[in-house]
Structure 1
Amino acid sequence: MIEVKNVSKKINGRNVLRDVSFKIGEGEIFGLLGRNGSGKTTLLRLIQQILLPDQGEIYFKDVLIKDHPLVKQNIVYMPVVNPYFDRYHYHQLLQLLKKIYPKFDVTYANELVNRYEIPEKVKYRDLSTGLKKQLSLILSFAIKPAVILLDEPTDGIDAVTRNDVLQLMIDEVAERETSILITSHRLEDIERICNRIGFLEENKLTSVMDLDQLKNDYVKIQMAFEEDMNLNIRKKGIAVLDQAGIFYTVLVSKSDAEVKDYLKSLQPKVWNELPVNLEEVFIAKFGGKRRW
């Protein structure tokens, strides 16, 4: 559906993305993770061609997007904030989007606006953060795109609204096989809805993996010692998720028998192996310079 091939981008002389490649299939929800400044938003803007890559190519169904601008009608980008919408209320936005997107489904949009009780005569800028997110998502889905690019769609909204927004995404993918590329700092949301994830690290895509595979590849180990083992563990570069006195929680690759053997050689008095979640893997991958 979408293929990003060897894409690099500099902004103000700084490398933002370097040689990034990945594919998103039909009906897939792909989570893009990385710390602030890692290039997530830039990558979404490149796919939508708001920005153009310095190197590399981006395809939609094997069609080079930059050479066929009409293809962009199949791709919708929902930014963190959308100031373009600010001065319009819902019905005015309908009229604008119908002119731009010929497949825009007014009936579908009206159905969702009624379901979520979004005020139809209130200007977008006067809506709450949660209602803005819901309305933007409804309008994005009503365009009937093949691909939606979502930048922090659940940022700044309450738990009930967040649940509604996530369910709306899941329903859309199930019913229409829409492909979604989503960035979010709410890792529990990514874990709930995504099929695969990719990690942006030092401006490169360092890993792309299935979420189930990710959880199967790592194990969380809780240990307790008779004395402080912090220095011993840090020297080995082992990911320490938490430490309280002589109690440690570390993250280890299941295939790394050498690390496990080393930890056992320190003679812990407690040893518990537990399943991991996405947040713990994220901390291990991106929090290392601060933690160990």
Structure 2
Amino acid sequence: MYTIHFSLWHQAEMSSSEQEAQWRQQRAELYDQLYEGGKKAINREGVRKTRQNFTPGPTLESKPYVFPTENDGVALICAPTPIEMAERCHTIGKELMDLLPREPETGNAVACVTRRELMHVTLFHTSHPGDLAPNARLRFPQDVAQLKTMCTHIAPFRMVPVKVLMASSGAIIMLFQCLPATEKLSDDVINAHAEFSVDHIRRVAKETFSFAPKTDTRVIIHATLGRVLSPDVQDVDLDRLRARCDEITAELETDPQPALFDKLWFVEETHNLSPQGPKTDIPLLGGLQHQ
């Protein structure tokens, strides 16, 4: 019933290597841009708008989506962060957010930290909050079936954190790189070139799913550890946060602790900027070629 064009998965070797070189260059440039942009003034108007998606209080909690019709929905395909790495991400996020003083009069939070059980690396949306697919909710069962088929041709892959920074949006993000495979992967897997696993997964997703949002994630590989959600945070406090991000990045270089990602989530998202909602766990079953 659900067909995927497997012939599209393997491009000519030359065009594939050219595409991978382009991905590598684009990612390096983007990571530099994010870092340099984050060192400049935070976009306080953007932070103010983002804050509208959260309920203020001792903690800032994501508000549920309000959709125009009952058939609308947001669907996220992501790689859940393995337990030990998720714990590390949460610890870093909490440490950074704790550097920011609370609102002086109310004691309310000025930032949020991603819960450890929700830590993830975004791969693709089949319906994006900024670009809803028509009747998206009706498509979810088919989306899940197609993703399960895809995952039989994706091998587990390793990723390593390379940088922690505050983007100009106020998001605190950990940037990742995929690592080369430790064993030779069989030719029938999407990510035979494991160093570009996320790129190839996104490429095949765009070929597979009926709706590809215009606003979707491209070359960045990241987890959001937390968010600055007050436009009134003082520059001196933000500078302290940026300095600690640089220290943590240096610690990651010394002790990267790569992790194996061996499953994906299909999330029927219910809340803004958070992978809350029903999740389908889908293991990556692409096999290893044993000599």
Quickly name the TM-score band, shorter chain normalised: under 0.3
Specify which structure has the bigger relative contact order, considering alpha-carbon pairs within 8 angstroms and separated by 6 or more residues: 2
Larger Rg: 1
Q: How does the TM-score come out when normalised to structure 1?
A: 0.23
Q: How does the TM-score come out when normalised to structure 2?
A: 0.23
The structure carrying a bigger strand percent of its residues is 1
